[in-house]
Structure 1
Amino acid sequence: METSVVNSSNSEPIVDSDTINKVKDKENLSDVEIVTNDIKTRLYLLKNSTDQRPAETKQTNGLRQLNGRTESSSSESKSFVDNTQNVQSKNTEANHVNEKCTEAQDLPESTTGEIEYVSYTSELQMPDIMKLIQKDLSEPYSIYTYRYFIHNWPKLCFLAMDGKECIGAIVCKLDIHRKITKRGYIAMLAVDIKYRKRKIGSNLVRRAIKAMIDDNADEIVLETEITNQPALKLYENLGFVRDKRLFRYYLNGVDALRLKLWLR
């Protein structure tokens, strides 16, 4: 048997055959393949580290963003809607208050209550009636004219009252015309200017018409200035028609229109 002695200082390290083969295989790989394998390894490690991280939540404009998906927060959305509704409700209430304040300023304080319609009952009401009607008359009447109508036909005189203030009045009569027809006549109608456009005049005329119908009137007539468009509209809306034109009927030289309402 031969024995070989190896000097440790001059000998090369002993390498197994598997290691030698791996080194040879690595040497045979191209540079491109080495880089590709390195990139794949890095991507694999990065993916594993990302999957192990907890999901991050980002807040963007009141919405939650989870893994790139934006989801609304129910509590925050509800709070936002509630706040919006409260603001709208307060704005609506403020508008209503402003409208009521404007209406109250346009009307006198005494007109905010309910208007009461009453029949003539006493001579004590005469001054209020005269004062109200004389404001709008095209010609002056004496107190005897008022007394002629009101004392003879007190049931055909009606007043509109706002508390203790007389703000409207109508004076009528009913007698036989040409021995055949029972004719009603509206002599005077007036409404305080501050209370107009509230159908007070129409309500007074309706009460007078009803009282005349109850007394078996056949027709009702009246005269009004041809230039008084509000009065013409009021009576025509109640069924009156234009019957005759009276030239220079009033003392101021203005023509009149006679209106008639047939009841039978």
Structure 2
Amino acid sequence: MNHDASTSACPTASPPTSDLRYVQYDGAREDEYVSAMRQLISKDLSEPYSIYVYRYFLYQWGNLCFMAMDDSRPEDPMVGVVVSKLEPHRSGPLRGYIAMLAVREDYRGRGIATKLVRMAIDAMIELNADEIALETEITNTAAIKLYERLGFLRSKRLHRYYLNGNSAYRLVLYLKEGVGSIRTADPYAVHADARPEMAGPILAPPPALLHGNGGGVI
């Protein structure tokens, strides 16, 4: 899915990272949060996501969505977001998936993405996750560096994975010893043209198919 990853310098006028507030998604504020989330994420997408994609994640795994808020911007406080999921894979490990990660361009370079991803990882560990996976465009070097610093390993290159024709790396973080040796069917190896979310609003999209340009904003 989408992973924002610019490493450009941030304007000095922006507030320091210490002034940010990190919060977990609250379904009672869906209209407010989802609208801001879509606006933030859509700026860096390599393929579009409908409202149903967001609902697919947030209705089931809102507890794995975290946001960075800058209250000095009362009209548009959300400056970073990570959206994840966690579910058992048939005959395999309990697998987490980082679906979307984005940070406002003028807030990058401050560790916000790293903080958000760590929060998601910690939440999944608390829920006994065995591993966490994601995809990111092979050209998204900032996102790749972010995840590799957190212990993710490149497990596969996916040729022409995204609708824009770009290829991706699948990255995996193994949380328990021996998890990487468990053999399972690959739920991610579905070509973009066959993605269920493109067929209608009700179908729940398979995890890996939602990544626009998998990544992370540093």
TM-score (norm 2): 0.71
Q: Give the one of 65, 78, 85 matched to 1:173.
A: 85
How many residue pairs get aligned? The number is 160
* Residue 118, structure 1, aligned to residue 23, structure 2: yes
Q: 1:241, CA displacement in angstroms?
A: 0.5
Cα 1:116–1:129 change in 2 (3 A) is: same
* Residue 209, structure 1, aligned to residue 121, structure 2: yes
Alignment-mate amino acid for residue 161 of structure 1: M
Alignment-mate amino acid for residue 67 of structure 2: L
| Contact 2:156–2:170, Cα closer than 8 Å, also in 1 | yes
TM-score (norm 1): 0.59
| Contact 2:25–2:62, Cα closer than 8 Å, also in 1 | yes
Q: Percent identity?
A: 56
* Residue 152, structure 1, aligned to residue 60, structure 2: yes
Structure 1 stretches of 4+ with a deviation exceeding 3 A read 108-113
Q: 1:111, CA displacement in angstroms?
A: 4.9
Cα 1:113–1:215 change in 2 (3 A) is: closer
Q: Deviations over 1:155-210 (max 9, x none)?
A: 00000001141000000000011232100000000000000000000000000000
**1:112 and 1:248 mapped to 2: Cα distance?**
36
User: What's the Cα RMSD here?
Assistant: 1.5
Q: Give the one of 137, 142, 149 matched to 1:230.
A: 142
Aligned to 1:132: 40
Aligned to 2:103: 191
Other structure's SS at 1:153 match: helix
Q: Deviations over 1:15-66 (max 9, x none)?
A: xxxxxxxxxxxxxxxxxxxxxxxxxxxxxxxxxxxxxxxxxxxxxxxxxxxx
Q: 1:110, CA displacement in angstroms?
A: 4.5
Aligned to 2:12: 107
| Contact 1:157–1:171, Cα closer than 8 Å, also in 2 | yes
| Contact 1:156–1:212, Cα closer than 8 Å, also in 2 | yes
Aligned to 1:19: none
**Would you tell me which structure has more helix in proportion to its own residues?**
1
Alignment-mate amino acid for residue 62 of structure 2: P
Indicate the structure (1 or 2) with the bigger Cα radius of gyration: 1
Q: Deviations over 1:135-163 (max 9, x none)?
A: 11111000000010011101000000011
Alignment-mate amino acid for residue 92 of structure 2: I
Higher relative contact order (CA 8 A, sep 6+): 2
**1:244 and 1:178 mapped to 2: Cα distance?**
20
Q: 1:119, CA displacement in angstroms?
A: 0.4
Q: Give the one of 233, 236, 248 matched to 2:160.
A: 248
| Contact 1:240–1:261, Cα closer than 8 Å, also in 2 | yes
Aligned to 2:199: none
Other structure's SS at 1:106 match: coil
